[in-house]
Structure 1
Amino acid sequence: MNAFRATLAASVLALAPGLGMAETSLIFNTYLPPHDELYQIAVRDFAAAIERESAGSLKVVIPDASLAPSDRQYEMVRDGIADMALVSSGGVPQLVALNRIADLPMNSPSARAASIALWETYNTYFLPFDEFKGVKVLSTSVLPGRQILSLRRTDVQEVGDMSGVKLWSPPGALSETVRLLGAVPVNSEFTDLQEYVTKGTVDGMVMAAGSASSARVLDYVTSVTEVPGGLGSLSFAVFISGERWNELDADQQAAVLRAAEGLPERTGAAADAAERELDPVMAKIPTHKLEGAALAGFEARLEARIDDWKTRAAAKGLQNPDEVLAFYRDVLARETRDSLD
């Protein structure tokens, strides 16, 4: 056991009444704030479920502060500093290509549907490729699709309106999507977004309403361009160290798996619920829902993102990227349809 990890677990357990006799402790690190829905469901509630399902055989310790930066969660677990963590697929691009199917344009009509689709696709097609080497993936989740939130006089109704528009977007895949559409991606720390908006540095943003609300910039949005399934999204995986997993006995492993059952759906549903809370606000903002020729114009530009994923997936050894993409979208359609029934 890593000395730092052991010391941390011992100190936390010593301060927690009734936990001193724990048979096995697991350090579950997270960089997410407590108010985040992903934290509440995929970390806090999952940790409680593990303890409950194991009848106290497992005790899960969530440090008050992250033990590593957000982009070092995988390495932190591999180095034995923590036992469990959550990481964005885009945060480990050197490892993960296949799971980023969920990050593609139009692949997240709802967080719940996309989270289920990614989990089923991962287990059906991606698991044998072992992209998350050295860890066991326990759940996947996907955020609601990112949309175009325009500011001031900017108004996007067709792809031609994107030319030269400065759009704040996270670095990586979403910035590449912005470039493909003819716009100019602007990156900054999320905490600096309000300044960029109020000073007129950007003409709009690529994000969901909940993120805009968290950044306190939703009141500045003058119109929304709604792309079916979003311009892209962000996917995550919850995992445990492979070494630590193998140290658990069969009953403990079974308890963790029982706790993880249905976690993708619960996590996605929580993200959707948080977005729906903003419906009264969003209903007051003019919204252009892309369809027909306008949608086709976006799709033609965004096809390059899908082709790029297929190329990367094939390079990983996936022999049937089109089949896998069809499977993922079939699950999306099934879950979207079921949610309407």
Structure 2
Amino acid sequence: MKPFATLAFAAALASSAFPALAQEAKTIRVGSWLPAHHLIVAGILEPWAAAIEEETAGSLKFEIMTSPLGPPPAQFDLLLDQAFDVGYGVSGHNAGRFTMTQVMDLPFMSPDPWAGSAASWLTYQKFGADYGEHQGAHVVGLFTHSNPNINMAKGRVETLTDLQGKTIRVGGNVTGRIMSELGASPVQLPPTEAQTAMSRGVADGITFPSESIDFFGITPVISSITRVPGGLYTDTFWVAFNQDSWDGLSEVERAAVDKHSGMALAMLSGFAWSNGDKYGEEKLNENGVEFVTLSDEDVATARDTLKPLETEWLAQASDKGFDGEAILQYARDMAENYRADREVNVVK
């Protein structure tokens, strides 16, 4: 009877300890400036957080905030100020701050979201420790959105000359420069104001992936969409812990975060954006939007016209003491390795 009593006592003791263990779970607050149903939140951050929670058997609990503490450009500083433990943002929202990290923002670097996201992370993993652009934070992921299109409220952009004099809403500094070089007049507005701006003639069009056109309710004012093969531009998103919050994790917890971050997060992003675009295009087609593809000749012209952006980025890299050519080539190689349309196992 004594052994049984001992086992019963141990079992009772163990069961009474579970609530205490549950109370010791660390809550990781994730700052968010997008609605909870946005693709980045619902399709990327939530499954990422859920995978880590499961991996740690609940010792980490993620709380994604439902109200923003500041506008998108303020997110990195809010993270550094410990307003939350984990944050995310668009590198291009802080012009000049994440120049080296933004290598994938250059024209025609990202042929699709799988390639762009993989290349952005792998390039940062190889070179980013030297950049010093995220001091005070521990970056766990980088990713890019899907290929953007030129979405017009009126008229069509069949050739590059059709962009001349058009006012185009853009979201970041590099995108604005691209539109300017191609002859358009960029205007930077929050996406929530884009539909109103185009309805009132303040903007003729907007650069956005199909997913975002639908999500932000812009579909009703779009009449035509021009695809640019090769990826005219992209934005690089970052996901990072505040350094003190990261240091406060155990080795096991950090390993769990690492397992589901980095390339895993990049691939999760590629999946989310690809599916988001498919849904967005279905809605655009239902609305009778016309799709146009820029010709190979115009794509070649755009590449030549936008070459100065690459030259300037290389000069900035040199000024910072980096081998920009090596970084750029590595990023291109990684994008080529992970592009979704690369033929494999095909008998010819």
Deviations 1:250-278 (A, max 9, x none): 11211221232511110121011110123
Write the distance in 1 (CA, Å) between the matches of 2:269 and 2:114.
7
Alpha carbons of structure 1 residues 236 and 194: separation in structure 2 relative to 1, 3 Å: same
Write the distance in 2 (CA, Å) between the matches of 1:326 and 1:291.
26
Q: How does 1:82-161 map to 2 (within 5 A)?
A: 82-153=84-155, 155-161=156-162
Write the distance in 2 (CA, Å) between the matches of 1:289 and 1:150.
13
Q: Which residue in 2 is equivalent to 1:289? A: 293
> Percent identity over the alignment?
25
DSSP-derived class of the 2:201 partner: coil
Offset of residue 336 of structure 1? 1.8
Q: Which residue in 2 is equivalent to 1:276? A: 278
8 A contact 2:137–2:243 mirrored in 1: yes
Write the distance in 2 (CA, Å) between the matches of 1:246 and 1:217.
42
| Selected match of 1:310 from 311, 314, 337 | 314
Alpha carbons of structure 1 residues 217 and 66: separation in structure 2 relative to 1, 3 Å: closer
Alpha carbons of structure 1 residues 45 and 234: separation in structure 2 relative to 1, 3 Å: same
Alpha carbons of structure 1 residues 24 and 217: separation in structure 2 relative to 1, 3 Å: closer
Larger Rg: 2
Write the distance in 2 (CA, Å) between the matches of 1:274 and 1:266.
12
Alpha carbons of structure 1 residues 197 and 68: separation in structure 2 relative to 1, 3 Å: closer
DSSP-derived class of the 1:313 partner: helix
Q: Which residue in 1 is equivalent to 2:327? A: 324
Q: Which residue in 2 is equivalent to 1:227? A: 228
8 A contact 2:213–2:280 mirrored in 1: no
Q: TM-score, normalised by structure 1?
A: 0.87
**Which amino acid counterpart does residue 328 of structure 1 have in structure 2?**
A
Write the distance in 2 (CA, Å) between the matches of 1:334 and 1:246.
34
Write the distance in 2 (CA, Å) between the matches of 1:48 and 1:37.
15
Deviations 1:50-109 (A, max 9, x none): 221112222222233223332222112211221111121113334311111121222222
Could you tell which deviates more after superposition, 258-267 or 280-289? Answer: 280-289
Task: Number of aligned residue pairs: give it.
Answer: 323
Could you tell which deviates more after superposition, 230-239 or 195-204? Answer: 195-204
Q: Which residue in 2 is equivalent to 1:173? A: 174
**Which amino acid counterpart does residue 294 of structure 1 have in structure 2?**
D
Write the distance in 2 (CA, Å) between the matches of 1:322 and 1:114.
18
**Which amino acid counterpart does residue 278 of structure 2 have in structure 1?**
R
Write the distance in 2 (CA, Å) between the matches of 1:285 and 1:41.
26
Deviations 1:285-315 (A, max 9, x none): 4433233322222112111222222222222
Is 1:28 the counterpart of 2:30? The answer is yes
Unpaired runs of 5+ in structure 1?
A: 1-16
Offset of residue 237 of structure 1? 0.9
Q: TM-score, normalised by structure 2?
A: 0.85
Q: Which residue in 2 is equivalent to 1:204? A: 205
8 A contact 2:138–2:246 mirrored in 1: yes
Offset of residue 159 of structure 1? 2.3
8 A contact 2:79–2:86 mirrored in 1: yes
Offset of residue 110 of structure 1? 1.4
Unpaired runs of 5+ in structure 2?
A: 1-18
Offset of residue 243 of structure 1? 1.8
8 A contact 2:35–2:66 mirrored in 1: no
8 A contact 2:144–2:237 mirrored in 1: yes
